[in-house]
Structure 1
Amino acid sequence: MGYIMDLRKVVGSRPLIMAGSCVLVFNQDRELLLQRRTDTNDWGTIGGSLELGESLEEAAARELYEEAGLIAKSFKFITVLSGKDMYFRYPHGDEVYNVMAVFEAKEIEGIPKVNDDESYELKYFSLDEPVEDLNSFTEYYLRRAGYITKW
């Protein structure tokens, strides 16, 4: 998050518009890979903000490798989310309005492993039942994209 951290030095905690990508990774049983995040201590999808000059797909691929040690041969575009429902205030006070491209990773290579300091653990979850401590954004995208319909 070099670019965002550089902006924060100038604007402090005031709201920023932050563009980024999140990646949905499913195993053979259609369980979703989530990370327990170090910044919010809840479960969320893999993803993050764009760096300068980076495409949304490049950000998805970079975040997938950085956060889970995985490589996808391709990505299926699911949706873009933005607006007031994508507002978030981090526990340390930084505020953002996210513009988030949601992708599903296809043909995954590697075994999921914590690969940076942004997560405590990685785990696959069934979407047939609610996930305890699921962050609100992840639930929002999964509902909007039709992955969660039962709960």
Structure 2
Amino acid sequence: MPPAPPANILLGPNGPKVIDFGLAVFVEASVSLTAANTVVGTPSYMAPEQANGVKPLTAAVDVFALGAVLLFAVTGHHPYQADNIHVLFHQVTDPATAPDLTDVPAEILPLLTAMLAHDALDRPSLPEVVQRCRASSRPEG
């Protein structure tokens, strides 16, 4: 069975729509929406610090999630895959386990590698991601 696409992206007549990007940071800021010792997010798209329960979350979790979405868009698979949620969380949080970048086109491999870096400080900022995407895009689309 192939991996499921991101549940927070809807395909509509005008293109894809992200329905809750960045919600993890918002939810973490609201005491009424979370309980103690809980982790909010989709494990396959979750940054290591988010999976580890680090607080407060930063924009780096959005960079990681966007990298995971882009990875799925170009390859059809997630950065980490496992049949067991505990194994999946171990893969996501283990700095020795690299994300699966199989079949990523060479043009975007450096960007996705940076976006999916285990350490949040090693990830580019969102404006840098946009700049790098523009620089690597082809005139023909």
Q: TM-score, normalised by structure 2?
A: 0.28
- Higher RCO (C-alpha 8 Å, min separation 6): 1
TM-score, normalised to structure 1's length? Answer: 0.26
Q: Which has the higher strand share?
A: 1
